[in-house]
Every structure is written in structure tokens, then in C-alpha cells.
Amino acid sequence: MPVEQAGRTVQLAAQLYRPVSPKPAPAVAIFHGCGGVGVNNTRMAELLKDWGYVALVVDSFSARGLKDVCGRNWPTQASAQARAQDIDASLAWLGKQSFVDPKRLAFMGYSYGGGVGLLRALSARTDIRVPSGWRAAILVYPDCGLGESLGAELRPRLPTMFAMGELDDWTPVRQCQALLERVKAERDLVETHVYAGAHHSFDALGLPVRYLDGVGNRSKPGGCCGAHYGANEAAWKQFTADVKAFMARYLAR
């Protein structure tokens, strides 16, 4: 899948999940966090397929020679702006496929990918419409620090769901709450869910909560360092129910 970047074309890798359907189905592009495509992304894609959606898990890193950007050199705003073009390209590609309904497209972003998603989901401008067919965005424990550059007053460009862990100290709820306080118009298009007792990566099923002392952390002074992450099965179950309901609400015909 081609993406234009800095005067050259980058060919992104992606994994496609298709439901058994006699007619074109709604589609969701999924964007991973700082560690690259993970089991949490592919697990969600399988669920979406089971629910009747086409899912595309996009690998933003391999074609750019990246594997993991979770360390002390945390992704910059410029890197996030460049990666936001992956969302544009992926949904454009999906909209051209015969097995996809081009009028029912959505995207999901996780952690760093969720912060990148902010750059498409929210805007300070009132004259920018989303491309045809974009219906919803889901931002999963997003890096809301990337929204600092968007402007003092914001509006959602499309219905957007925030899914966050109460105890997340990597992409903390308070940072996203501060961002959402700047949403002054069409606030009803924003849906927020905070899962009690959950840390970052609450959907990493089977992974006990642990502390990573070497990871970059935009919410700390100087962007460094350390955060907890790990699974919370109760949060995961509620999250999947919330995603299913949100998608049905906005991608139904």
C-alpha cells in the first residue's frame, strides 16, 4: 500500500481480515503502538472480522526500517504528522476494494498510533471535512500529548471513542481529559470510556502488569522515562463490548 512521504513512495505492509459476506462490508484500519504490530492488534482484527467488518492491520514501521520506538527517543511530533498519512492511504485503499463498502470506513489507533489518530480525529478548524466514507475513529489508550499542537479550541471531525485505563501512567487519562476540555463544538461526537483498575495495554491478555523503566514517556518531565503496562481481563471484556456497540452505532447503514 503506497504512502507518499518526503518526496518518495513508501510501500506499507498490511494484513487483511475479511468476513464471509455476499456483499461489501464496512471496514476498519488498525494502527499499532510504539512496539509495532502486536497480538492485541491482530486479536481485535479477528474480532472485527467475526462481527462482519473487514479489518486491515497496518504495519507503519517495517517499510521505514523501524521495529520499536518505545525507548527514550520517543516519537516526535513530526514523526506523528508523517505517520498520519498512513491513515489517509489505508482508508483510501480500503474504499477502492470491491469487498468494502466505501461509505462505511473507520480507523483504530493504539497508544502512539492512537496519538497519531488524534491528528485526524480532532481539528481546530471548522472548514475541514473528513474524506467521503469516514464514519468513526477509536483511540485506544492514545498518546494525547500529540494533540498539544492541534490548537486551543478543537472539534471532532467524526465520531470518536476514547478507551483508557484508569491507572495508565504512560498515556494517562488526565492528559486526554485536558485535551478534551479544548473540544468546544460537537462534544456529543466524543465518547469516553475509562476502565477501572486498568493500566496501559490492558488488552495484552496473559501479560502481568510490570514496570518498564527504559521507555519514553511524554507525560513525564523531559519525556522520560518509565511506565507500567499489562493486562486487565475485565477491562478488555468491557472494552470489546464498547467497541462493538460504538461500531454498530456509526457504521450501520
**Residue range 200-246, pLDDT digits in tens:** 999 999 999 999 998 989 888 888 899 999 999 999 999 999 999 99
Supply angle C-alpha 91, 105, 186, rounded to 5: 110
pLDDT of residue 74: 76
In the chain, the largest separation of any two C-alpha atoms, in whole Å, equals: 53
Q: Look at residue 145 and tell me whether its pLDDT is greater than 80.
A: yes
Say what the pLDDT of residue 146 is: 92
Query: Does 129 score more than 80 pLDDT?
Result: no
pLDDT, residue 189, reads 96
Determine the pLDDT at residue 5.
Answer: 78
The predicted structure's pLDDT at residue 182: 95
User: Per DSSP, what are the bridge partners of residue 191?
Assistant: 161
The beta strands (E) that lie in the chain are given as: 2-5, 8-11, 13-17, 25-31, 54-59, 100-110, 122-123, 134-140, 155-156, 160-165, 190-195, 210-212, 227-229
Tell me the mean pLDDT in the region 140-146.
95
State CA 44 to chain mean position distance: 12
> How much is the pLDDT for 218?
87
**E strands, 32-159, in order:** 54-59, 100-110, 122-123, 134-140, 155-156
pLDDT band at 10 (very low <50, low <70, confident <90, very high): confident
pLDDT at 221: 84
Cα distance between residue 92 and residue 134, in whole Å: 10
Q: Count of alpha carbons within 13 Å of 210, Cβ hemisphere only?
A: 8
Which residue, chain included where needed, has cell 511506565? 227
Query: What rounded mean pLDDT belongs to the chain?
Result: 94
Which pLDDT score is estimated for 58?
98
Quick: pLDDT tens for 146-176: 998 898 899 999 999 999 999 999 999 999 9
Please determine, for residue 102, whether its predicted confidence score (pLDDT) is greater than 80.
yes
Give the pairing of strands 2-5 and 227-229.
unpaired
Q: How far is Cα 26 from Cα 221, in angstroms, rounded to an integer? A: 42
Q: For residue range 31-61, what is the model confidence (pLDDT) as tens digits?
A: 999 999 999 999 999 999 999 999 999 999 9
Look at residue 128 and tell me whether its pLDDT is greater than 80: no
How is residue 141 written as a grid cell? 489508550
Q: How many residues does the chain have?
A: 253
Chain segment 60-90, per-residue pLDDT in tens: 999 998 888 998 777 888 889 989 999 999 9
Give the whole-angstrom CA distance, residue 183 versus residue 203. 27
What are phi and psi for residue 14, nearest 5 degrees? -160, 155
The predicted structure's pLDDT at residue 208: 97
User: 242 or 124, which is more confident?
Assistant: 242
Report the alpha-carbon distance of residue 202 to residue 173 in Å, rounded: 14
**Three cell numbers written together for 62:** 517495517
